[in-house]
Amino acid sequence: MNRIAAACVSIAVLIALTLGSMGLTGEAAALGPYRVGLVVQFSEGGFVTDCVEFDQPEISGCDVLDLSDLSVSYSPPGTYGQAVCGIEEVGCPTADCFCDCQGVDCVYWAYYHLLAGAWEYSSVGCSAHSVHDGDVEGWAWGPGTYGATSQVKPPLFTFEEVCVPPPATPTRTPDPVPPEVDFWADPDEVVAGQCSTLHWSVDNGELVALDGEGVRPYDARYVCPSETQAFELLVLNAAGEFNYQVTISVRQPTATPYPTTTHAAPPTATSRVTSPPPPPTETPTAEQPEARTSPPPTGTPTPPSTPRPTVVAMLSTGTAAAPEPQDAAIAQPTVQASASEEEPDDTVGLDRILLLLGVGAGTIGFGTVAFVATVILLLAIYFRARAQF
């Protein structure tokens, strides 16, 4: 009996732990932002620093690189993760990740952590190392021994040197600076029933609110307005109160609109375009005729001060960890646009089906047909032969 009881208790504890850990991760996503310093040494002399913000209490070293505005190429994934092949233009192509290696002697991207004011060579790769608030990560391209040593180190920076000014104490700065805000909709013009994504990135803001509701400084929201609607982003910091507006104009076809639920949907894949409004790549809005009445709305800030037109490095949105398929995001407007252009009265359903058929035939069409034909041929051989033997 004791044994059974013990087993029950341990199972219960296991379940509780599981649920607890799940709960914890869910909760943790709401905290933040946390910050980490990043120092990347490209070659002798050339280096870049970046301060990366993130929402989870713990992310991997690879995530830090992903969240920075550097372009990083990883090797094709292995069983445990990826290797860093190149950062920006320096390094190896993804196709041949350790191209400068002879056995263990390599020129490669060495990985460091700042520990007690000195760079420590990382014995593990970036996906296996977890990074916390206040850490500094270093990368250096140079010769060394694969996985053991490297002859180069990134220049030494402390966390405070990389991440200035710390936004946690903006009130104490003698000269309060206005927040840097990017706020735009993608696309900014939709057909009724179609949805759009509001993006914003706020640097140096203490409080950010969208239509009166507190939101995170880097985020996006999926909205499906039924009629032209203005969205307002309110940003507060020591310099005052700032308002930004984006209008999503809605054209009214006679087709029935989508149910307009403005739920906080998972983030769509955001392209790293910084100038608002970004022309959505390959979306038909750019190709549509000029017969548009409403001017393309921009993030028009209301007084007191215009935000500086700095190109804010779009550190990716807070929840960029799980990007949705990009083609899905593109494909949807295509359907709607073609419907609105040619036969606005037609039902959306037929168009969808046609498109699906087209996509199917285009991508796997011939192959699928050939495959099915081969299988049918095999089955025919089987039944013919079975009759004979």
Partner 1 sequence: MSFLTGRGLSALILTLATLLGGIAFLYPFFVPQQRGSAGGFMAHAADAPVTFLILLLLCLVVIIANLETRQMDSKVVAVLGILVAINAALRLIPGPAGFTAMLFLPILCGYAYGADFGFLLGTLSLLVSAVVTGGMGPWLPYQMFSAGWMGMASAWLPPLRRFGRVEVIILALWGAVLGLVFGAIMNLWFWPYLVNVGASNTHGQPGAGLWATVGRYAAFYLTTSLWWDMGRAIGNFLLILLFGAPILQLLRRFRKRFQFAID
Partner 2 sequence: MYHTLTWMLWLGAALLPAMITRNPLYLTILLLAVAVAYKTLGRLSPMAASWSIFLKAGLLLAAVSVLFNTLTVNYGDTVLFTLPLLSLRIGRVPLLELGGEITLEAIVFGLTSALSLVAILLIFATFNVLVDHHRVLRLTPAFLYQTGMIASIAIAFVPQMVAALQDIREAQAIRGHRFRGIRDLLPLFVPLLTTGLERAIQLAESMEARGFGSGTGDQTGRHRTLHRMLIAAALFGLLVAAFSFGYYADSRWPSAVLGVASIGLLLGNVFVMSRRVKRSRYRRELWRRRDTLVSAACVASLFVVGGFWLLNMEALVFYPYPKVSPPEFNPLIGLAMLAVVTPVLTAPQKRRSPT
Q: Which chain residues interact with partner 1 by CB under 8 A?
A: 62, 74-84, 93-99, 101, 103-104, 106, 108, 111, 122-128, 145-148
Residue 115 in the binding site for partner 2 (CB under 8 A): no
Nearest to partner 2 of 344, 358 (CB atom) = 358
Q: Which two tokens stand for residue 64?
A: 């830090």
Q: Which does 371 bind (CB under 5 to 8 A by kind): partner 1, partner 2, none?
A: partner 2
CA angle 243, 248, 251 (to 5 degrees): 155
Binding window for partner 2 (CB under 8 A); candidates: 42-50, 75-83, 155-163, 255-263: 75-83
Give the separation between CA 134 and CA 160, rounded to whole angstroms.
Answer: 9
Among 56, 70, 67, which Cα is nearest to 27's?
A: 56
Tell me the closest approach of the beta carbon of residue 82 to partner 1, in angstroms. 5
The only residue of 322, 342, 345, 362 in contact with partner 2, by rule CB under 8 A: 322
Considering only residues 352 to 371 of the shown chain, the ones binding partner 2 according to CB under 8 A are 363-364, 366-368, 370-371
The only residue of 123, 252, 275, 347 in contact with partner 2, by rule CB under 8 A: 123
Amino acid found at 140: A
The Cα-based distances of 44 to 143, 153, 237 in angstroms read 12, 10, 40
Nearest to partner 1 of 145, 319 (CB atom) = 145
Give the separation between CA 194 and CA 183, rounded to whole angstroms.
Answer: 20
Give the separation between CA 272 and CA 317, rounded to whole angstroms.
Answer: 10
Give the separation between CA 337 and CA 97, rounded to whole angstroms.
Answer: 41
Tell me the closest approach of the beta carbon of residue 149 to partner 1, in angstroms. 10
The only residue of 80, 89, 117, 345 in contact with partner 2, by rule CB under 8 A: 80
Q: Which residue has the tokens 């041949």?
A: 96
What sections of 287-347 are H helices per DSSP? Answer: 326-341
Give the separation between CA 242 and CA 255, rounded to whole angstroms.
Answer: 38
Nearest to partner 1 of 96, 343 (CB atom) = 96
Considering only residues 13 to 72 of the shown chain, the ones binding partner 2 according to CB under 8 A are 17-18, 21-22, 25
The only residue of 13, 23, 43, 76 in contact with partner 2, by rule CB under 8 A: 76
Tell me the closest approach of the beta carbon of residue 79 to partner 1, in angstroms. 5
Tell me the closest approach of the beta carbon of residue 138 to partner 1, in angstroms. 14
Strands 59-60 and 180-186: unpaired
Q: Which does 382 bind (CB under 5 to 8 A by kind): partner 2, partner 1, none?
A: partner 2
The only residue of 2, 102, 169, 254 in contact with partner 2, by rule CB under 8 A: 102
Among 373, 344, 180, 136, which Cα is nearest to 254's?
A: 344
Size of residue set near partner 2 by CB under 8 A: 43
Nearest to partner 1 of 111, 218 (CB atom) = 111
CA angle 316, 221, 248 (to 5 degrees): 115
Contacts with 35 (C-beta within 8 Å, 6 or more apart), sequence order:
51, 52, 53, 54, 133, 134, 163, 166
H-run or E-run covering 367: helix 348-388
What is the contact surface with partner 2 in residues (CB under 8 A)? Answer: 17-18, 21-22, 25, 76-82, 96, 98-103, 123-124, 128, 322-323, 325, 363-364, 366-368, 370-371, 374-375, 377-379, 381-382, 385-386, 388-389
